[in-house]
Structure formats: structure tokens, C-alpha cells
Amino acid sequence: MEEGDSGGDVKELQKTLNDAGFEVTETPTIYFGPKTSGAVEEFQQANGLIVDGIAGPNTWEALDTSTASAPDALSGLEEGDSGDRVIELQRDLNEAGFPVTDNPTTYFGPKTREAVREFQRSYQLEDNGIADENTISELDMVLNNTGSASASGVYKAGDDSEYIKELQRDLNEAGFHVTDEPTTYFGPRTETSVENFQKAEGLSVDGVAGANTLEALEEVNEAEPESEPEETNESEDTDSLSEGMSSDRIQALQEDLNEAGFHVTDEPTTYFGPKTKEAVKEFQEDNDLTADGAAGTKTLSALEGVLKTKQEAEKKESEEESEEASTSNDLLSINDEGEEVQELQEKLNEAGFHVMDDPNAYFDEDTETAVEEFQQEYELAIDGVAGPETLAKLDEVQEEEENTDPGVLKAESTGQAVVDLQEDLHQLEYFQGTYTEEYNSETSDAVAAFQREHGLAIDGIAGPNTLDAIDGELNQSAPGTLRGKTVVVDPGHGGYDGGAAANGLEEKDIVLDTGLKLKSDLEAMGATVVMTRETDRYLSLNERTEVANNANADAFVSVHVNAGGGVGDESYWYGEHEAERSERLAEDVQEQLIEATGATDRGVKEGNFQVIRDTNIPAILAEIGFIDSSTDAANLREEDYLDDTSEGLTGGVDQFFEEK
């Protein structure tokens, strides 16, 4: 392998060089660039090899010899030890799914000891918290994926291997659907399915597929073997679905009929009514089956075949389009220059994947890294090359942001956003004119007056800084018992991570609607509210906790919807950081939530969820119902019920601060 090569072998080479003490990067990639070549040359020089920066057979053999004793190099570390070996141990534990810290240090403290103990317990080792020889040997085995997928692996968000594809298939089989076409990448959908499975099986909910989760998944799938269908007439088929019946299988049937081109309804339900019967009959007639309107084994099997054929055709078409795209010259990669590269850098900056403050039109390593991070975030092929698929996704993300954010209001701006601005300025006594949808001279003068009194650039244009200052002024002047308090509201999931789904509902939509209502209610009581998301977009758990910890806030409320066969509301807190106050916040919110909604009270519980575990202020996670419960789902469809839910959450926060 040499500079310019790419693929999984390059990533393995970078890891091996890191292990041998010739660091390439803290986050290995699939691209063999100048840093990799430089590390290879340093290793070759140190080991008396020909120095050419190419990883050939002799270099690989020397690397294998150099790292063969690596496990022993870390063995014997325990609490109180310090040095570079501790940094390496913490990184290995992080990578194996037993996080110590985002920024490894040279000190072996209580957090490192606890992570070692968790690893030891997961792999049936003596849990003494000491990184002994057996522990380091097992850790090395896990990191190199030498164990079986069902017994020795720990899989988490960001992992990429063939074992992930097997994990996705197992989750699909157990009823926790990830994707129809399993991949080797552990993305947000896989993480959500793992969390839902863990929740349903009473396991620790962390989204990491460790030994306990994999063992439980294997047991579930072994306990429900598929049986060969017996030959039977449609009318005698005991598994037949027919008019008047109601079950989750009927919702799946309606969805499949829709996809096959035999439309039932835009919002599939669990009830088999006349429309479903008519669609089944049309399908049967079209496929030479007995047209009785009952979906028995033969009909369901034929429907599955039609869908499979359709999916294969779509996949083939997609592959042909990808192949055609890959042969085009519409690619931007390392060392490219020009206006297109500068435009790419600007778009990456705007999308939150920072390249540099002043884009320079040169595709360097920073640009490549930003492209890789963008591709990983949106589950694209991670190659650091801005090809048609990556560029199209980047345009799509930018368009979504433009459609959901008024951005800058200035002369010639029109619409409701202008009216909202005029109303806000009127409330602050800067605008005295008539509300219109046009950004006229009176509006510009009012904005300039506000800017002058608040030390902002005076241009009469309502940009982000001016709009933020207006919001801040409004919040300070608002009445209510929460004046002076800042609350972070976190609607869970979002974007391609839909969360739990059932009864025609998706968790991400319900919690966003509720979160926006909660924002409005809290602001009406004088609070300043920081939202982790206000649109249907994806944020990682780390990004959510970063917002919470950087907002200088007084409380954090994460809103979710439950799944797994229960009914009612429950609130979670975590026993670290602000443990006592977090527990009291959860108790106050739960009390007010039940009083406002009349929901079944499932109580207050301690839970190891990252968004509350890694947040340094009083923090709770509220589950506002079960999406797979017909009773709760019916409530969650109603705006009035979500209004009541927001009222309960607001009341709980208010009660918490009154008791302070």
C-alpha cells in the first residue's frame, strides 16, 4: 500500500502504526495520505528497513513483530498509575465501547478503574479494576474483532465491519427493524434498534451491542424459530387476515400493499376494513390468485415476492445510477483547486462541518476530514471524496436549513417572519408603524435604533446577532416565575433517526411538536430556552450534551416517547453530577405531568442515558407515553393532549425552581 490508496486495509495499517508508537491520527481513516506515508517512513527508518513510505511485505512483517507484545505493554496498570500507557488504555477502552473520557489523560483514576471493571464483567473476567494480562489480552481481541459476532464483539455507533451486517439481520429477525438491506456500518438507526431491544429485554439501555445484549438477542431469535408453512387453502389458513380483524400485522399488510402499488390509505392502521379488502382483491386478481379479499399464506407469500422483485429492480437501478455517476468527472478530492473547492468548503462550514474560517479553494487534509465527517454523519460511503452523492446531500442539507431558518431579514424581505420581527420590536417600543409583510423603511429604522442602543453594528439589517439580541431582550422583559432561568429543551432523535415507530406515528415528530410547545410555555413564564433542535434534523448524543453544557443553563429536559409494551409516563434521572437536584426535578416533572394529562404513573427512575449522564446540570429524560400502546398512541395524536403534556412539563420545571 502506498500514498493515494484507500480502503479498510489502510485503516488497519494506521491503527497498527499507532499501536507501534508511530502515530498517524487519533481517528484512523480509509485514506493513505501524507501523514500515513510519513509514519511508515519513520517506522522503516527506526527498524532498519528501506525508507520509501510504502507498506510492503517486509514493513508489515516488522509491524506485526513490533506490536505482537503490545498487550503486555499495558498489563499491570491500576488506579494511581500515570503515564502515556494510561492514555493508550483509555483510548482502547473508549474504542471497545467502555468510555472513560473524550480526552484521554495520563492518570489512571476512578473512571478508568470503573471502565476496566465494566469491561471485565462483560467478558466474564475477574472484575478487580486492574488492567492485568488477561484483561489486556481480551481487550486486544475485541479491538481486532477476533471473537465471534455473538460472543466476543462489542459494537457501537461508528463501527464498520461485516459483524455489523449480521447484527442488523439479527435485530430485524427479532422484530427491531434496522434496514431492509443490512450494511457494515453502525449508524443511528442501528443504535436506536439496539436501544429499543435493550429496553424491551430489561437490559441497560446504552445503544451499545455488548456481550449481554448479543447473548439476549441470540436467545430471542433461537426461541422463535421460523416454521415451514403448510400447504393450505386461503379460506382454511389460520394465519389469514380478513375484514373485521385488528392487529399490527394488518398495518404491515397495508404498508406492503401501498408499496406494491395497491393503495389502501396514506396512514396505515391496524384495522382490516373494506378498503383493505378491496386492495387485497385487486392484488389477487392481478397475480392469478383466488380473489376472496382475505390475505392468507399464498397471498402474503405472493406479496412478499412482488416486493422483493420491486426492491431488487430499484437496487439495480440505483447501482447503475451510482456507476454512471462514478464515471463522471464531478468529483472533488485531495489536492484539487478552484472555485468549486471553495464553494464546497463554504457549504461544509455552513452545514456545521468546519474546514477553515477563510475557505482557500484548495482541497487539503482539513477539507478531506470535513467531507469524511459529513459522509459518516449522513451514512454515505466514507472516502473523503466529494462525489455526486455527497454533493447532492450537502445541497439537500443546505436547502433544508434555508427553508427552516429566516436567516437575515432586510430590505425586500417579505413574509410572516417580517411581521413577527415588527411585533417583537413593537413590544420593545422600537416599532410604532403598521404591521405588514414587507421590510419597509420603518422596520429598518426600528432595527437600527435597537442596534444602536445594544452596541451592535448599525446597518438596519436583522441578522443572526440582532435577532438573538431581540430574543434575549424579550425574554428578560417577560413576566413569570422563571425569569432569569435558562432551560435546555431536547426533543429526542430527528432527521433519519426516527426513534420508536408504531400506530402510524414516529417518535421524532411527537417530541419535536411537544418540545416546541414546551419552549413557548417556558418563555411565557419568563425563562430563556435553548433548543437542541427546532427542526427535523439529526444530532448525535454528544452534540446534545455539548449544547447543554455550553448553554450556562439551569436545567435540562430531554423529551422522548417510550416503546416496548407498556402504558403511561415516566421520568428518569442519573446519579452523578447534580444527582440530588436531578432526582427532585424528575419527581416534580412526573408529579405535574400526571396531574396535567391523567396518564398512567410509571414513576421516577434512575437511568443510564447519555444525554442525562453526561450533562453537568440538573437533567432529566421524560418518556411521555408508549407509541406502541393503542391508548397512548391515540392521545399522542391529539394536539390538546400534547398541550397538556407541555403544561405538565412546564409546571414541573416551575415547581422545581420554586422549591430551590
Q: What is the chain's Cα-based Rg?
A: 28
* Number of alpha carbons in the 13 Å side-chain half-sphere of residue 436: 14
Residue 54 Cα to chain centre, angstroms:
38
Helices 507-524, 639-659: axis angle to 10 degrees equals: 50
User: What is residue 368's DSSP assignment?
Assistant: H
Question: Is 192 exposed, middle or buried (CB count within 10 Å of its CB: 0-12, 13-18, 19+)?
Answer: buried
Cα separation, 470 vs 540, in Å, equals: 29
Which residue in 209, 239, 225, 119 sits closest to 174, CA to CA?
225
Q: E-assigned strands of 16-164? A: none
- Using the structure block, give the residue that is written with the C-alpha cell 439476549: 216
Which residue in 445, 451, 448, 415 sits closest to 433, CA to CA?
445
* Number of alpha carbons in the 13 Å side-chain half-sphere of residue 428: 23
User: What is residue 229's DSSP assignment?
Assistant: P
CB neighbourhood size of 88 (10 A)? 18
User: What is residue 11's DSSP assignment?
Assistant: H
Q: For residue 438, report the phi and psi dihedrals to the nearest 5 degrees.
A: -110, 135
3-state class (DSSP) for residue 495: coil
Sheet order of strands, 486-491 included? 528-531, 486-491, 555-562, 619-626, 569-573, 601-606
DSSP string covering 538-593: ---HHHHHHHHHHTT-SEEEEEEEE-SS--SEEEEE-SSSSHHHHHHHHHHHHHHH
Among residues 623, 638, 639, 659, the one annotated as catalytic is 623
3-state class (DSSP) for residue 283: helix
3-state class (DSSP) for residue 402: helix
Maximum alpha-carbon separation in the chain: 82
330: cell is 464531478
Which residue in 90, 77, 176, 171 sits closest to 130, CA to CA?
77
Q: What residues contact residue 490 under an 8 Å CB cut-off, 6+ apart?
A: 515, 531, 532, 533, 544, 547, 548, 556, 557, 558, 559, 611
| 623 is known as an active-site residue | yes
Which residue in 540, 542, 553, 531 sits closest to 616, CA to CA?
553
Residues classed as catalytic: 623
